[in-house]
Amino acid sequence: MPKLFIPGPVEVSEKTFRAMCRPMIGHRSGDFKKLYGGIQPRLKELFGTTQPVFLSTSSAWGVMEGAVRNLVGTGKVLNCMCGAFSDKWFDVSKKCGKEAVALQVEWGQPVRGEQIREALKAGGFDAVTLIHNETSTGVMSNIEEIAAVMREFPDVCLIVDTVSSFSVVPIPMDALGIDVLLTGSQKALAMPPGLALFSASKKAMDKAATVKGSGYYFDFAEFAKNQLEDMTPSTPSISHIYALESKLEDIFTEGVAKRHARHAENNAIVHEWVRKQGLDFFAPEGFRSKSLTCIANNKGIDVAELAKKAKERGFIIDGGYGKLKGKTFRLSNMGDETPATMRELLAALDACLA
């Protein structure tokens, strides 16, 4: 099988797959509670929170929609938009019947704190949605800058998607004052798709208690109630939770700081290659993702042909997302990749481009 270097799903290790194949247990059994409760301390440490970390059997979009349904009541939601995923969050908010306001910046640019401040000055907002690392454009917005602005609006909840940046760079939820921090399994965590992880601040939980019509499957109060007994509201994907336990073991054996450093090094190796090839970055300096690189095709490369040749050599790369197809291509350095595996990929691309 060729190896995945697309920005999600990413390559899954043998160890993680093996963990998923453990025998099933009852989701209300003592064994399950031990499994679920046992991973909480490490999850909290990774999230940088003292709040419980909830596990949702859904893709990230389940919780992205759920956060809007739980935290946006009669007020408005400000959707920060700078690429495919963040743009879609605006549509999802409207589909949930919420009064959604678009803060649109050009694809390839970050969302700036100042823009959020200006938008929130109109008043009447319940929440802001932000994608920390916009996977479609390879742009990482400055979460410290944005969190600082949000502290000027204490009545507004900050919902942050970290699907492709979680455990790549530090995102200390409580210290930053993030109200909902969410991620998915198949990107930065290098697990198969199907699980979402999230945590909610006390402010978020208090707000959720006042919002009507948030449904059942993603009801934050249901998650909190079940969490008291180390359980989930409905039968979770227990196989994914085994995989998560195994992944946490990997992360803490390596060390969280070392994991961040490895991703930075992987990313720097790709950046060096981009410069050597005379290619450009789609994202501006200072806002380039640490988990993937979105490369601007300034040399008129036949990207589809490059991807085809790379696949023949055993590497799957992404030929650009949506309207950026062919104009950009993306290389992931997330998950379990190392400087050595990144160099293997880049050597193959060199051969394809020669």
Ligand X SMILES: *Cc1c(COP(=O)(O)O)cnc(C)c1O
Give dist(CA 328, CA 303) in Å, integer: 8
Q: Tell me whether residue 8 or residue 110 sits nearer to ligand X (CB atom).
A: 8
Q: Between residues 231 and 266, which has the closer beta carbon with respect to ligand X?
A: 266
Contact between 53 and ligand X per CB under 6 A:
no
Closer of 133 and 227 to ligand X (Cβ): 133
Which is nearest to 336 in space by CA: 1, 47, 17? 17
Among 5, 36, 47, 85, interactor with ligand X by CB under 6 A? 85
Find the shortest distance in angstroms from Cβ 165 to ligand X.
8
What whole-number distance in Å separates Cα of residue 111 and Cα of residue 105?
7
Residue 147 or 195: which CB sits closer to ligand X? 195
Q: Segment 273-312, which members bind ligand X (CB under 6 A)?
A: none
Give the Cα-Cα-Cα angle 265, 268, 269 (nearest 5 degrees).
90
Give the bridge partners for 55, in sequence order.
Answer: 197
| Terminal-residue alpha carbon distance, the chain | 24
Q: Kindly identify the residues of this chain, within the stretch 184-203, that bind ligand X according to CB under 6 A.
A: 184, 187, 193
59 touching ligand X, by CB under 6 A: yes
Nearest residue (CB) to ligand X, 59 versus 338: 59
Q: Closest Cα partner for 159 from 233, 100, 236?
A: 100
Our CA dihedral for 172, 178, 181, 187, rounded to 10 degrees, sits at: -60
> Of the two residues 170 and 193, which places its CB atom closer to ligand X in the complex?
193
Q: Is residue 66 part of the contact set for ligand X (CB under 6 A)?
A: no
In angstroms, what is the minimal distance from the CB of 276 to ligand X? 27
Rounded to whole angstroms, the Cα distance separating 83 from 91 reads 13
CA distances from 195 to 55, 191, 206 (A): 7, 9, 25
For 352, list phi and psi in degrees, rounded to 5.
-65, -35
Q: How far is the CB of 101 from ligand X (least distance, A)?
A: 20
Does 167 help bind ligand X (rule: CB under 6 A)?
Answer: no
**Amino acid identity at 336:** D
Q: Which residues pair with 292 in a beta bridge?
A: 332
Region binding ligand X by CB under 6 A among candidate stretches 28-36, 54-62, 240-248, 325-333:
54-62
SS3 58: coil
Count residues contacting ligand X (CB under 6 A)?
Answer: 13
Q: Among residue numbers 125 through 164, which ones bind ligand X (CB under 6 A)?
A: 131, 135, 161, 163-164
Residues making contact with ligand X (CB under 6 A): 8, 59-61, 85, 131, 135, 161, 163-164, 184, 187, 193
